[in-house]
Amino acid sequence: MIDSSAKNSLTTRRILFVDDEFDVRRVVQTCLEKIAHWTVIVAESGEEGLRKARTEQPDAIVLDVMMPIIDGSQFLSALLAQPETRSIPVVLLTAKADSLDIKQYEEMGIKGLIGKPFNPLTLHQEIATALNWVV
């Protein structure tokens, strides 16, 4: 039996999802809110994502890599440069997952990588596993 405080801690997770594609943002937000009961804050650009990371202080960030202007590695570098955001764990959700990229992102401290296309019904479990969260 899960006590209510443990259940509440799972349902109050706050995720910042950063992706430049509207349809992907909508699917991810819907899945994480309806299936995992997490609060999802969305950002459509790296710039907006960095701003929301500072102001919202989410429990974790799920980040697309291939975005215009500020891509995934630039986003991670900027996130790590700010004391108020450097400890926020990041999981990549990307179609760009060759071995050189993975090594670079692991060196930057990502917690996990989920490939696109992803299964919307199990996405929350993959994120939770990468972050060592119990679902």
Q: Domain with 90 in it: what CATH number?
A: 3.40.50.2300
Residue 2 domain flag: no
DSSP category for residue 54 = H
pLDDT of res. 6: 42
Q: Are 60 and 28 in contact (CB under 8 A)?
A: no
Q: Label residue 3 by pLDDT band (50, 70, 90).
A: very low
Phi-psi region of 131 (alpha: psi -120 to 50; beta: other; left: phi over 0): alpha
pLDDT in tens, 53-102: 999 999 999 999 999 999 988 999 999 999 999 999 999 998 876 665 77
Does any domain span residue 59?
yes
pLDDT tens per residue, range 12-46: 899 999 999 999 999 999 999 999 999 999 999 99
Rounded to the nearest 5°, which phi and psi values hold at 64?
-75, 150
What domain range includes position 106? 9-130
Q: Answer whether residue 1 is part of any domain.
A: no
Degrees, nearest 5: CA angle 130-132-135: 100
The pLDDT of residue 118 is: 93
- What is the spatial distance between Cα 32 and Cα 17, in angstroms, rounded to a whole number? 10
Confidence of residue 52 (pLDDT cuts 50, 70, 90): very high
Q: How many domains does the chain have?
A: 1
DSSP code for 15? E
pLDDT bracket for residue 11 (50, 70, 90): low
The residue among 33 and 105 whose pLDDT is bigger is 33
